[in-house]
Chains A and B, each alone.
Chain A
Amino acid sequence: MVRFVSGLTVTERQVALVVLLALSLIGLAMAAAGRGDPMGAQGFIVMIFSVGLGFAVMSGYYAPEPDESRLSRYYDDPTKVGIVLTMIWAVIGMAVGVWVAALLAWPDLTFDAAWASFGRLRPVHTSGVIFGFGGNALIATSFHVLQRTSRARLPDQFTPWFVLIGYNLFCIVAASGYLMGVTQSKEYAEPEWYADIWLVIVWVAYFLLYLRTLARRKEPHIYVANWYYMAFILVVAVLHIVNNLAVPVSFAHAKSYSLFSGVQDAMTEWWYGHNAVAFFLTSGFLGMMYYYLPKRAGRPIFSYRLSIISFWGITFLYMWAGSHHLHYTALPQWVQTLGMTFSIMLLVPSWASAGNALATLNGAWHKVRDDATLRFMMVAAVFYGLSTFEGSFMAIRPVNSLSHYTDWTVGHVHAGALGWVAMITFGSIYALVPWMWKRQAMYSSRLVEVHFWLALAGTIVYVFAMWNSGIIQGLMWRTYNDGGTLAYSFIDSMVAMHPYYIARAFGGLLFLSGAVVGTYNVWMTIRAAHAEAAAGETGADVPIAAGSGAMQAGE
């Protein structure tokens, strides 16, 4: 902690203390005004968080100022902390995921506790993995990629911390709120109004930080990975603000009511929800892919032009696809058809990106064979191609009539989330950790290999279980007998699902084990770096070795 604080200038330390003081006062106000409401408990969380961090800043307050030579290096401290937070959230979010998967197979696992009921734990899982794990990974890698591709240092040292830590405060307030029953009941937008407002502030700071760094860039052309990261930041801001327009019951209550109602509310929510998939879970991670994959493979991207065309394709087509979540509802038919058509067209830029990634590896397959880190990225590109094809297919109205409300949707989401998002993240982290901590390679390349196979096996078990389960479910719900009534009751389909739910929990457990192995490996790499630093060796000027790292991993 002290090390990170001593990297800040005295002015930046003061700004940090003022912001934390203001935040703890807000927490106090929430705790006082929200007595008897969940908001009170949320206020205490905000207060403890900011006072705790305040002590951390004060413990390093009187450290000497960092010298000017720091300006000739990139600022990587927030990225380092972001990587560690990514791995912590991965373990938390995935562990809760395994728990809720087990709950579906063995409902007694709630232990009669309200906070442990399915409806409260599930958003902890979804937010934990999407926002906690995915979001931290995006923030950490975006700072790294932005500086390298711009050849410019971040403009100041306070804003990146504000973004990273403020974002994690949002995640903590969200997750703890769910356990208390605080929710807007909107998929991927469950946090209530006060958390939403805080996220807007953090997000605007993030976008401005991106623009300020780009303004300082020394490369004339902005590398395409930054376009994807910027689309992620900008569009998520727009989506988040519009979908969360709501009126609180009062400033002292956690509860709020949406500004929209009925089918407009549903359409706004799925415009948000599908674009959250597009711009949070796709665009940002494509940015990651377009930097770390060529870097790790030691080969330039196959076609730079194609990456530009697919960027604009994804940006402009995804915007209109959300209504495919509302087939056969009160939404006007033409809006449903619009969503379906755009979803099918989306296959073109999606496959262009997946193909671009795989074509980049063409000629480097021996590296893919030997290097589990690169293999993570390769498998991610394959799953990206598979799940975008599946998504376009499921958006077709008659196909949707079979798949909607079944586990097929859950399988599709996880093909994307486990196969694409998590795989590209772990690949990027294994590439990034040795560069950040000035090591030749990860602590153990064998453990990277173990993680890879656990993750791949877990994904396949999970996705196949849900495909089977979903299609059986869908067929059972539409089978009629001679009398023209449904052949199966709902409970019949539940019984039929049971073995698949057990298989799904097992697949998730494999994936979680992989994440635990990865966390251990990252931790040991950091420890080795610190031990070496303590032994007196300065690692300040060690050049990163992308190519050699790839070769060592197979040893």
Chain B
Amino acid sequence: MGKFQKKRGKASPEVSTASLPDIIFMLLFFFMVVTVLRDSEKKVDVVTPQVTELTKLEKKSLVNHIFIGRPVEKYKAVYGTKPRIQLGDKFASLDEIPLFLEKHKSKVSENMRGGIKTSLKIDNSVTMGIVADVKLALRKAGQLLVNYSAKPRAD
């Protein structure tokens, strides 16, 4: 320590690192703001299929999500293993879909309502029966823009 100080002398050519924490904090706040914590508890297991023709969903506020999958482990005892629909953070039946869509619609400003998309997050193992029922419910509710959520596949 003593040796070190002698060498340096009186002038300190050190770069000030005092602002480093500020810079890091700025980055930190950025990530804290960007991070979206899951707002709804996952009640069904969803592993989406892998495809090649993907479209990115933009404008998150215009997207509502419908999950279809088998109940997760802790709900299996109550809800069984058959595929179920999850709207928001709870299990739902088909006839709750119109209300769910309407609730989401009311949060969107009027001139943007034409662009509302429904993101269907459907598990790989689900059969088409329940999917067809949901599709029919969406069509009846006038919600025609649908996105089958999927992961990219490398060919």
**Binding partners A and B:** no
